[in-house]
């Protein structure tokens, strides 16, 4: 655990939100992640036995959306 400095506590209220923070905040407002996850969950692979567990549904959804918004999809 990291100890907070005096500057962090005092000036935290004056911190300006970054573009990344604004974008992610807006993304949280617009997209109903829980509802989308609930729709996909019955079809999403389950962890069986030992081995690598599948990545969480909500994380994969976010990655998918970001790929399409920023045209990061891989084309063959």
C-alpha span between 44 and 55 (Å, rounded):
10
Interior/surface letters 10-19, b for 16+ CB within 10 angstroms, e for the rest: eeeeeeeeee
**pLDDT category of residue 32 using cuts at 50, 70 and 90:** very high
pLDDT at 7: 66
Domain positions in the chain are 17-45+52-76
Render pLDDT for 33-72 as a digit per residue (tens, 0 to 9).
999 999 999 998 888 888 888 888 999 999 989 888 888 8
pLDDT at 39: 94
pLDDT at 76: 56
Cα-to-chain-centroid distance, residue 56: 10
Question: Terminal CA-to-CA distance of the chain, rounded, Å?
Answer: 45
C-alpha span between 46 and 24 (Å, rounded):
28
pLDDT for 16 beyond 70: yes
């Amino acid at each position: 655990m990291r100890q907070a400095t005096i500057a962090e506590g005092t000036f935290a209220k004056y911190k300006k939100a970054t573009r990344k923070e604004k974008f992610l905040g807006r993304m949280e407002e617009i997209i109903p992640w829980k509802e989308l996850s609930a729709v996909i969950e019955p079809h999403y692979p389950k962890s069986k036995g030992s081995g690598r567990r599948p990545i969480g549904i909500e994380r994969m959804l976010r990655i998918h959306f970001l790929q399409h918004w920023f045209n990061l999809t891989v084309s063959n």
